[in-house]
Amino acid sequence: MNASYDVIVVGAGPAGLAAASVTARAGLSTLLLDENPGVGGQIYRGITSTPVSNRAILGEDYWVGTALAADAKTSGAEIVNGATVWSLDPERLVGVSIAGQARLIQAKRVIVATGSQERPFPIPGWTLPGVMTGGAAQTALKAYGMVPDGHTVLAGSGPLLWLLAAQLLRARVKLDAILDTTPRLNWVRALVGLPDFLLSPYFGKGLKLLREVRGKVPIFHAAHIEAVGTDRLTEVVFDGRRLPADLLLLHQGVVPNVNLAMAAGVAHEWNERQLCFQPVLDADFGSSVPGIAVAGDGAGIGGATAAAERGRIAGFAAVRALRPEASVPDTQALRQKLQREEMGRAFLDWLYRPAESFRRPTGDTVACRCEEVTAEQVRVTARMGCEGPNQMKAFLRCGMGPCQGRLCGLTVTELIAAEREVSPAEVGYYRLRPPVKPITLGELASLPIAEAERKAVER
Amino acid sequence: MFKRLGEVGAAVAITVDGKPIRARVGDTVAVALLAAGIDHCRTTPVTGAPRAPYCLMGVCFDCLVTVDGVGSRQGCLVPVRDGMKIETQQGKREAGR
Amino acid sequence: MRTADVVVIGGGIHGCSTALHLALRGLKPILVEKDYAGRHASGVNAGGVRQLARDLAEIPLSISSMDLWEKIEDLVGDDCGFTNNGTVLVAENDEELASFRARVDDLRMRGYTHEELIGRDELKRLVPAVSDHCPGGVVSRRDGAADPFRTTQAFRKRAIERGAEVIEGVTVTGLARVGDVWRVETSAGPIEAPKVVNAAGAWADRIAAMLGEPVPLTVVAPMLMVTSRLPAFIDPVVILRGRKLSFKQLDNGTVVIGGGHLAVPYRDRNETVIDWTKLAISARTVWELFPAMRIATIVRAWAGIEAYMPDGIPVVGPSATSEGVYHQFGFSTHGFQLGPGTGAMMAELVATGATNVPIDGLGIERFGTLKPG
């Protein structure tokens, strides 16, 4: 690994793989860093190593990732897995740890492709062993060939919940129930987007998935869900009914993984339709910080196909900036394709908009899992005049644990917004501090001396 | 909680709190614990509540374990290796133990 | 037109403390803060409450402040997370220890007894985890630490309860003498008052410049980092002299590591950029002093923006050009402990024109020979 690169891409999901392929093939020195053991990101998790040999289980959309991974591999990009990026600053100095060794690497351009994470799903008991995210079960299947064993309940809403159900059923997993938390009235608002949705690829796929799952699993509508157990999950209680359960899988959509971009100083804005913060970006996915782009779902949720297209567009922008003499294909066709991908999104966003009760918890429900801060504590503190998440951090320590707000940030923002009766846009988000992933003191101490001398910063 | 679809991959011998566990090549620590039926990997530093892996994608930090003496490692990001010693974490278990 | 007895510019611990003490004297202060109270250095500093190793000119203020810290709950209605397990200045070799001995002897001659020289055994008793290469040090047993944001907020809250007005999110844009009062122009309209206190921290030079009184203030951002929760292993705050380090474990188990390595500050954007190469030096220092810390995880690093003066001591006292204006800034990365006492002293000075706490050597006139700019 070198001390500097033309382009550093963070995250080897569809956006990162596509972006790195584009820049490396254009002759730019390209480093692609990813913290997971293999490439693919979450959507194509385990794409080069999955033990699942029956291709039908994961479905054709998954195997699209094979070509992306292969393309990146032969592109000339240097791909490093097990590389945890813990800092990115506005001068595009990237802090990364690989096998316990920390280093700082300079890039002329950085493409942040850190993708999405599942939206927090704060219900009573969601910290109990036996409660996991739907994405976790999908990862277990894709990357490790592992499936739920025992009484299994899925709960939540959104396309990925139905995809997971279908994949598990194909792997002959018995599902005890699906608790659909989609508010029934969402249809009304979603209808406006219906014509676009009917024309988008989502329509056919979605219908097929629903048909595949219905009839094989009892499906209930649920407005209130509770995970019950003392030291581990034993029961799921919903709307007055009880089900014995060993595993409860929660999912209510995905949101951009904002930590790295925010810590780099990239300006973000509230997306009211998708109920999350996303970076403010130009047409090439360039951010408010010169030289830093954000592509893929991290730029706003658009799905895997859109992510790869966004990655390519961001990659071509880097090529144009660093090698103006290089011939870059016209990205117009790419942009049109991307637009078609994104067209059906509005319908899905409105249809699967998570219920307020599952985003804005009450009472003893844990909001911050790390520091074990309850929804009521956050609400009371907001009512006492604490106006924003950063002050809330100082009062309650929420967001100050190792996950650094990933699983409480949106909840805390929404709770403050609810108590103050203002928009989450006005409340804002945590100011995120590096390292965006914890590093050991020993790793930090291991930063090479030569580099320490190189960056003598003038105040 | 989880079972393997098939016995794919060579066996890897690790220990969890001194007890031998058979994992598979390609497993991460968190997945090996789930496959072995270990139902929690740590207790929290605040209330001592048990926790198990939650997201398996590096986000939640609930799968923190001590790996070969180094505390608070994200189990879902660390691949298993023959002879690896895993310890579940009780509360504030890290430096100065 | 809004009017007050005193306009306090800046909602850090100093501005909030001065506002509280003015209100306690029956005056009506209005505090103007451009962000929110405790947004910068006062809310995000290391929280050290230290009399140890201070400049001679600051010692009277520091001692008067310590008296207030010890009854902080009576003063502000909140214990502010204050603990007093002492501060230990660790000597890393015999030469350092010898220089510490000379300092302690000098303080004794001046009548100050808060610093106490300790040998290896007492050091090991106070700080069992310290590396064996350290031959001793100096302890100030009444010292300790507090929660900086909570403290600043407590002063703000109590000031309001006692009659101060606190206006946040409002910037001071001008300062002019109109008749026998000062007219403070702000983004929320003018305020008139006979007295003004400039406690604007890293932005205080801009207020001083409005008075034709330029000061050589440097904007700095000392970096801090914090670990995840560790088992309790150290009670006092530990500092070094030869190398930059301050080190303390909070009640919640987290360890805060600071010492003055600087981030790059952007004061117009309220931003700082962490310099990891310097934090790596901190990490090595900690490793050498406390070997068990090697595997502790760092979860966050940050820096607060503040003012540093060329001589490393604050500007406290009346303006040299403008009657009725007082300065209280430039605490040069060690102003948190001084907040309660300096606020009390400043309120006395503003209200009575004099103070019993000596502030010789801290006046702005000491920069009088410097050229503007």
Chain-centroid distance of CA C302 in Å reads 17
**DSSP secondary structure letter of residue C242:** S
**Closest CA of chain B from C120, distance in Å:** 21
pLDDT above 70 for A86:
yes
Please list every residue in chain A whose beta carbon sits closer than 8 Å to the beta carbon of residue B25.
none
Q: Find the farthest-apart pair of alpha carbons in chain C and give their distance in angstroms, rounded.
A: 66
pLDDT above 50 for A421:
yes
Mutate to test the interface with A, among B3, B60, B74 (most CBs of A within 10 A): B60
Which architecture, in CATH terms, is B11-88?
Roll (3.10)
| Per-residue model confidence as pLDDT tens digits over A213-269 | 999 999 999 999 999 999 999 999 999 999 999 999 999 999 999 999 999 999 999
Identify the structural domains of chain C with CATH numbers, from first to last: 2-76+148-215+312-367 (3.50.50.60), 87-143+219-308 (3.30.9.10)
Cβ contact, residue pair C230, B69, below 8 Å = no
Taking Cα atoms as reference points, which of C176, C150, C157, C197 lies closest to residue C27?
A: C197
| Per-residue model confidence as pLDDT tens digits over A158-206 | 999 999 999 999 999 999 999 999 999 998 888 888 888 888 878 888 8
Q: Tell me the residue length of chain A.
A: 459
Cβ contact, residue pair B53, A136, below 8 Å = yes
| Per-residue model confidence as pLDDT tens digits over A255-306 | 999 999 999 999 999 999 999 999 999 999 999 999 999 999 999 999 999 9
| Per-residue model confidence as pLDDT tens digits over A424-454 | 999 999 999 999 999 999 999 999 765 444 4
pLDDT above 70 for C15:
yes
Chain A: list its partners (3+ Cβ pairs within 8 Å). Answer: B, C
Please list every residue in chain A whose beta carbon sits closer than 8 Å to the beta carbon of residue C288.
none
pLDDT above 80 for A458:
no
> What is the pLDDT, as a whole number, of residue A330?
87
Report the distance separating Cα C232 and Cα B92, nearest Å.
9
Mean per-residue pLDDT, A345-365: 95
Chain-centroid distance of CA C18 in Å reads 14
Cβ contact, residue pair C295, A441, below 8 Å = yes
pLDDT above 50 for A456:
no
Mean per-residue pLDDT, C109-137: 96
3-state secondary structure of A399: coil
CB A108 within 8 A of CB A97: no
3-state secondary structure of A401: coil
Rounded (10°) CA dihedral A293, A294, A295, A299: -140
Please list every residue in chain C whose beta carbon sits closer than 8 Å to the beta carbon of residue A445.
280, 283-284, 286-287, 294
Report the distance separating Cα C355 and Cα C338, nearest Å.
16
Mean pLDDT of chain C: 95
Tokens coding C125: 């008793």
Chain C: list its partners (3+ Cβ pairs within 8 Å). Answer: A, B
pLDDT band at residue C154 under the 50/70/90 scheme: very high
> What is the pLDDT, as a whole number, of residue B6?
84
Mutate to test the interface with A, among B57, B74, B80 (most CBs of A within 10 A): B57
How much of chain A exceeds pLDDT 70, in percent? 98
Cβ contact, residue pair B94, C295, below 8 Å = yes
CB A168 within 8 A of CB A63: no
| Per-residue model confidence as pLDDT tens digits over B4-37 | 998 778 999 999 999 999 999 999 999 999 999 9
Mean pLDDT of chain A: 94
Q: Tell me the pTM.
A: 0.94
Nearest to B96 among C228, C231, C297 (CB): C231
Chain B: list its partners (3+ Cβ pairs within 8 Å). Answer: A, C
List CB contacts of A172: < 8 A, sequence separation 6 or more: none
Sole residue written with tokens 């505090």: C31
pLDDT band at residue B1 under the 50/70/90 scheme: confident
Mean per-residue pLDDT, B76-81: 96
Tokens coding C284: 């090595």
Nearest to B92 among C229, C294, C295 (CB): C229
CB C85 within 8 A of CB C340: no
How much of chain A exceeds pLDDT 90, in percent? 87
List CB contacts of A94: < 8 A, sequence separation 6 or more: A8, A10, A33, A85, A87, A88, A104, A105, A106, A107, A110
Residue A367, Cβ neighbours under 10 Å: how many? 27
pLDDT band at residue C274 under the 50/70/90 scheme: very high
* Bond prior to A435 in cis (omega within 30° of 0): yes
